[in-house]
Chains A and B, each alone.
Chain A
């Protein structure tokens, strides 16, 4: 079946079997391999993307269900001008080690900061609780998110 949706602001479509998850659709049909397959059953969060402004485990959503909707993946954050503040902060803090949890973690962070630019540490921990990380202990990730939130607030504040 044909599935058409907006991905990172661009209209995309591809032909796929009806049981295709949004994760597999992105990775195998649209060549957007940023979202990862860590468990395929919604436990680890490496597949996290944003659909219509809400973070979702793309391995638990059918591509057909996402048809006609707005999907944002990690590939949609930076552009030819600059990194997204979250990506910048993650790099400066050394927040990612093996990086496999990274795209999902950053999308969950974006979902949080878009709605709550000055979250408390507990609010950050809560927002990330669906994204497992085995390498970092989450510490530098949280520090980076606090910095990114401040940077994003400054961007949005009129000079």
Chain B
């Protein structure tokens, strides 16, 4: 399957190197002498940790770890096929615009360009885990700078990149919204039409938060803000698509979810699932950013048009602009507590900057809201959360789904509460934290609870009680 392009020609190369060596001082050998082309040991001592029973609890070494260290792991970009060509995607020039016309003729005329693709050609041009509001390639509207507008397949990556510059797109720029609080306003422009930019919301209610706040010895309020961050997997998104004579398409992809990926491909390409083979290889980091399709349907179509395997690899810039990022949260926390440190009420409002498309916002807003009060026995809770569209990078799944954001808020406020009643940060947490069997904010009875154990163990390891600030 590997296309070899090496042409070894031993001409005066040896002379060249000999001449250099006779000039330079003698050096230490850089590698163990290589007198055979084998790059991995033919016989290795077996890993004891992998041979020990029982298996659970062993610090077993990883067989893929050995291949990583040898440089033998085949990530998508390491895979080549005979006659494989390369695809690139042209990204939007505006954060919000209507597409009036896409003219790919100049690109198509370039030597080495084999095919182009626009959104109109995608059989079902929409996808998304909850709302199918995201196009594979933009149809009539682009909603952020990372939206794909057209794609090109060419014999080399460089030609494909050059061809993108020859694609002429006529845009009618539209007013754009970047601030989620502006997007919330009633008279704001509606990025996906309809009468609101709010596309997901959640409410958690327990007890009676207003009465409890009124009955509290102390009430404090603070707003917290977190920023937009990206997964930065070291391996950029990559995929390869290839058809066979039976009308089956095989797609190698850095996707972290191939069952759902195949469903998405079947839907966007109007193909039966049995005609699609999706292969996930070893992925060079995901962290949530490789959990939905990106270029896969585009490559499948370009491969069908050209009759050749087609590969695309995101540039690092594409990773930032065209793959998903973490939702910035604006969080308002109001806590009511007693003089003895017991928190009796917590009222929370979460605004999620929901980017241009829904992606994994449903899971993020759900988890974020449920986790928002913290691992504490609070009888009166109100959480109201909203996700709004903005004309910025698509916000999606990223390690924690809202938890890092809300934990920043509730644990910051915990220390403020501690200070207000004159308690040590460890003591206030032990006083309020869940026990085995505690009732969660959604009235679930919790089992296998270990928050107090983690607090006590960490404090002992850190010597929290013995700390001096010097």
Contacts and interface: CB of A to CB of B under 8 A. Distances in A.
Q: Touch between A and B in complex, CB under 8 Å?
A: yes
Interface of A: 2, 4-6, 8-15, 27-41, 43-44, 46, 50, 53, 68-70, 72-84, 86-87, 90-92, 94-96, 98-103, 106, 114, 132-135
Given A94-B65, A100-B284, A134-B233, A15 B31 contact: no
B27 interface: yes
Contacts of A99: 64-65, 67-69, 73, 282, 284
A84 B40 CA distance: 10
B69 to A, nearest CB: 4
B177 to A, nearest CB: 31
Contacts of A86: 69
B22 interface: no
Given A41-B316, A79-B32, A134-B287, A94 B62 contact: yes
Interface string B390-403: 00000000000000
Prevailing SS type, chain A contact patch? loop
B33 interface: yes
A75 B39 contact: yes
A101 B65 CA distance: 12
B307 interface: no
Interface string B48-70: 00000000000101101111111
Contact of A4 (B4, B16, B75, B285): B16
A81 B41 contact: yes
14 contacts: A12-B6, A27-B78, A29-B6, A31-B4, A34-B71, A39-B316, A83-B44, A83-B69, A87-B69, A90-B68, A92-B61, A95-B65, A100-B285, A103-B71
A41 B317 CA distance: 11
Interface in B1-53: 2, 4-11, 13-14, 16-17, 20, 27-28, 30-34, 36-42, 44, 47
Contact of A50 (B14, B30, B40, B287): B30
A31 B8 CA distance: 12
B285 to A, nearest CB: 5
A104 to B, nearest CB: 9
A72 B30 contact: yes
Contacts of A73: 71
Contact of B10 (A11, A101, A132): A11
Contact of B39 (A11, A79, A132): A79
A47 to B, nearest CB: 11
A108 B231 CA distance: 24
A2 B20 CA distance: 18
A114 B27 CA distance: 12
A31 B72 CA distance: 11
Interface in B278-308: 282-285, 287
A94 B59 contact: yes
Which residue among A13, A76, A79, A81 has the maximum number of chain B CB atoms within 10 Å of its CB?
A79
B235 interface: yes
A83 B64 CA distance: 15
Contact of B42 (A34, A43, A80): A80
A38 B235 contact: yes
B3 to A, nearest CB: 9
Contacts of A100: 75, 233-235, 284-285
Contacts of B14: 11
A102 B69 contact: yes
A10 B37 CA distance: 9
B75 A36 contact: yes
Contacts of B231: 134
Contacts of B78: 27, 33
Contacts of B328: none
Given A11-B14, A76-B34, A90-B68, 9 more contacts: A11-B13, A31-B5, A34-B70, A34-B71, A44-B316, A80-B38, A95-B65, A102-B71, A135-B285
Contacts of B270: none
B227 interface: no
B414 interface: no
A12 B7 CA distance: 8
Interface in B249-263: none
Given A11-B17, A73-B71, A103-B71, A91 B61 contact: yes
B266 interface: no
A6 B13 CA distance: 9
A86 B216 CA distance: 60
B6 A31 contact: yes
Contact of A98 (B16, B74, B285): B285
A79 B41 contact: yes
A62 B78 CA distance: 20
B71 A68 contact: no
A38 B65 contact: no
